[in-house]
Amino acid sequence: MPSSSPSPAPKPLLPGLRGPADLKALAPAQLPQLAQEIRAELIAVTARNGGHIGPNLGVVELTVALHRVFDSPADQFVFDVAHQGYVHKLLTGRGGEFFRKLRQTGGASGFLYRSESPHDAFGAGHAGTALSAALGMATARDLRGSSEHVVAVCGDAAFTCGITLEALNNVVGSTKRLIVILNDNEWSIAKNVGAISSYLNRISTSRTYNRLHHNVEEFFKSFPAGVEMNRVYMKWKRETKDFFVESSLFEKFGLRYLGPVDGHDLDGLIKNLEFAKHCDVPVLIHVLTKKGKGLEAAIAHPEKFHGAAPFDPVTGENKKSAPGTPPNYQDVFGQALTRFARADAKVLGITGAMPSGTGLSHLAAAVPTQFFDVGIAEEHAVLFAAGLATKGFRPVCAIYSTFLQRAYDQVIHDVALQNLPVTFCMDRAGLSPSDGPTHHGLFDLSYLRCVPNAVVMQPKDEDELVDMLHTSLQLKGPGFIRYPRGAGTGVQIKDRPAALPIGHAEVLREGSNIMIWALGSMVQDALKLAERLAAEERLSVGVVNARFVKPLDRALLLSHAACIPLLVTMEDHVLAGGFGSAVLEALHDGDCPTAVERIGWPDKFVEHGTNQEILRAAYGLAPDDIHRRVLARWKNLQESVSANV
């Protein structure tokens, strides 16, 4: 008997998908294969480039179902945060090489942008924006009299955001046609927190309901399917849900609640989406998904694989950093805060859903009673801290620079105006290359410099970060410490932190031709630049570690301006309103018309890129570019001086 040869592997489907129409042309029986191919591509690309692998593995079937049922870009999907938009990219003509360069220069961005594709109906990177934006779009559609569908895709943690709840409050007053997908995987980056999360959990795990629901679904399957049948069934579901669980929160807001639906069952998803499409009231479909589905390591460690650094696709192990790589700023901060909190029960750490990213996980593990994760709720985090501070506590809000933008009113109106001693530790201040414009921390100096009572500082290294934290914890009012993403400089951290004199800069190197005033992460660059100008051009170049942007060390600055012909400022921040602007203002106010060359980011949204070096080079901020600029300015000055003699 001839041995039966193994059946040939099916032809791959993903490479042939140029857009949603190609997806629609596939037979339903081909969709599981497609889902498998998408997962393999997601894993391969993020293993190499890093990225939001866990959230994307969880929404493969959901995104396929959305594109099967709706017609993007005529119908519009608004993804909350948009970190789970990779599958959407693969299905909308952004696969292949473009996707393989995910988060790298020239490749697909890690979030969604209207400028990247007509299928990206609304851009995002910050959480909690989808429902409001989708509601605006649906209302605009109603006003214009057009008929497209608008679908908001929100994670369960988006419902810890105030904005989402504000939008929910307005759905019924705004439109009759909106579809909201609640993608519930029980995780934010860490485990989701708070009462809404517990409520969702109760709905999803109500066994009585789920068993009954399953039996009834089986029963209905024996009838010919159809919208009408579905309508009756869904009505029944709503009623039983209210009866067995507790009246749905979403129904109280006027949305029809459907679910919970298994987020990995394509048929079920498609059926529910089809039903929602024909509803004449706003609908919320509660979809249960597994974060990391298809990658064991991601299921076992959802927090680590929410947004992963490059990893081994088989073991899930992260690529080892080179031996001797200094610790990250976030860990130095987290460990220092833990030491301070152990020594003083009044020191508290607060995060908006980012315990590991901010380093507060160290505090959570060591002194859990002094740690608070308030969910993705930066406004609340700051107000909560303000309340604690009125009672003599020393709260430390650990919030990325970019996310503190959301709590600006609380910073001014609640903390600074009342001069409350809240410390803000702003990680990811400066460029965040692979994440791109939604995540660069390039605006905080501009938005904080104008706030009365604020003390704003940036350390040159991780030891000074600990000094600044210690110093801020002694302040009578608010202190803001900004520091960059990633590894420190590798300096030794002192056993006992120093209290820094407020508003005093540190002279690291004297000079008489040029004085570079550098801020934080730019200090090392400034020292190298000074060295090079001295060695190659025989110039006397000094370097100041500014430490404080507010209050600025005016006395030292004016003394330099009085005798040094050229000042240079360097900052990892936009020039508009930043550190260099503070220097210019101080010089102007002190009647010192000294020449100043300002180095910083231009008045543009800086795109994502493979790394700092590439992006800096693209904007003329590579060390060689800065060297050229400073030297040219120096030569120019010399020429005008000799012309005037």
Ligand X SMILES: Cc1ncc(C[n+]2csc(CCOP(=O)(O)OP(=O)(O)O)c2C)c(N)n1
Binding site for ligand X (CB under 6 A): 55, 80-81, 83-84, 126-127, 155-158, 183, 185, 187-189, 291, 306, 352-354, 376, 378, 403, 406
- On whether the CB atoms of residues 364 and 354 are closer than 8 A, the answer is no
Tokens describing residue 222: 């024996």
Nearest to 395 by CA among 337, 334, 463: 337
Q: Is 406 a catalytic residue?
A: yes
Return the number of the residue (338 or 358) whose C-beta is nearest ligand X. Answer: 358
Q: Using CA atoms, how far apart are residues 481 and 458, in angstroms rounded to an integer?
A: 6
Tell me how far apart the alpha carbons of residues 436 and 438 are, in angstroms, rounded to a whole number: 6
Q: How far is the CB of 244 from ligand X (least distance, A)?
A: 25
- CA distances in angstroms from 4 to 8, 11, 234, 260, 314, listed in the order given: 12, 20, 48, 44, 31
Closer residue to ligand X, CB minimum distance, 38 or 523: 38
Name the minimum Å distance from CB 250 to ligand X. 16
Of these residues, 177, 241, 271, 291, which one is catalytic?
291
**378 is a catalytic site residue:** yes
H or E element at residue 524: helix 522-537
Distance, C-alpha 115 to centroid of its chain: 19
**CB of residue 103 to ligand X, shortest distance in Å:** 14
Strand partners, 487: 328
Q: Which residues pair with 506 in a beta bridge?
A: 545
List beta partners, residue 337: none
Q: Which residue is nearest to ligand X (CB)?
A: 155
Minimum CB distance to ligand X, residue 542 (Å): 40
- From residue 143, how far is each of 112, 180, 644 by CA, in Å? 26, 20, 67
Query: Which residues, 6+ apart, have CB-to-CB distance to 86 below 8 Å?
Result: 42, 45, 51, 52, 56, 99, 102, 108
Tell me whether residue 308 or residue 561 sits nearer to ligand X (CB atom).
308
Distances (CA, A) of 527 to 434, 503, 507, 552: 27, 21, 11, 20
Residue nearer to ligand X on the CB measure, 37 or 156: 156
Residue of 208, 194, 206, 192 whose CA lies nearest to 156: 192
- Which structure tokens are listed for 600? 């910083």
Catalytic pick among 378, 462, 464, 597: 378
Which lies closer to ligand X via its Cβ, residue 372 or residue 393?
372
Gap between the Cα atoms of 558 and 594, Å rounded: 9
Q: How far is the CB of 221 from ligand X (least distance, A)?
A: 30
Query: Cα(404)–Cα(407) distance, rounded to whole angstroms?
Result: 5
Report which of 354, 364, 485 is spatially closest to residue 432, judged by C-alpha positions: 485
Q: How far is the CB of 189 from ligand X (least distance, A)?
A: 5
Whether omega before 260 lies within 30 degrees of 0, making that bond cis, reads yes
Q: Which amino acid is at 65?
A: A
Rg (CA), the chain: 28
Handedness of CA 616, 117, 428, 551 (dihedral sign): positive
Under DSSP, is residue 598 helix (H, G, I), strand (E, B) or coil?
A: strand
Q: How far apart are CA 447 and CA 108, in angstroms?
A: 30
Q: What is the signed CA dihedral for 100, 48, 103, 290, rounded to 10 degrees?
A: 90
Specify the 3-state DSSP secondary structure of 369.
helix
| Exposure class string for 99-117: b at 16+ Cβ within 10 A, else e | bebbbbeebbbbbbbeebb
Q: Label residues 348-380 b or e (16+ Cβ within 10 Å = b).
A: bbbbbbbbbbbbbbbbbebbeebbbbbbbbbbb
**Tokens representing residue 446 in the block:** 């501009």
Task: Please tell me the total number of residues recorded for the chain in this structure.
Answer: 645
Q: Give catalytic status of residue 228 as yes or no.
A: no
Q: Which residues contact 412 (CB under 8 A, 6 or more apart)?
A: 451
Least separation in angstroms between CB 188 and ligand X = 4
CB of 163 to ligand X, least distance (A): 9
Specify the residue, 158 or 599, whose C-beta has the smaller distance to ligand X.
Answer: 158
Task: List Cα–Cα distances, 533 to 51, 184, 318, 420, 568, in angstroms.
Answer: 40, 57, 40, 45, 13
Residue closer to ligand X, measured from CB, 56 or 594: 56
Question: Looking at the annotation, which residues are catalytic?
Answer: 291, 378, 406
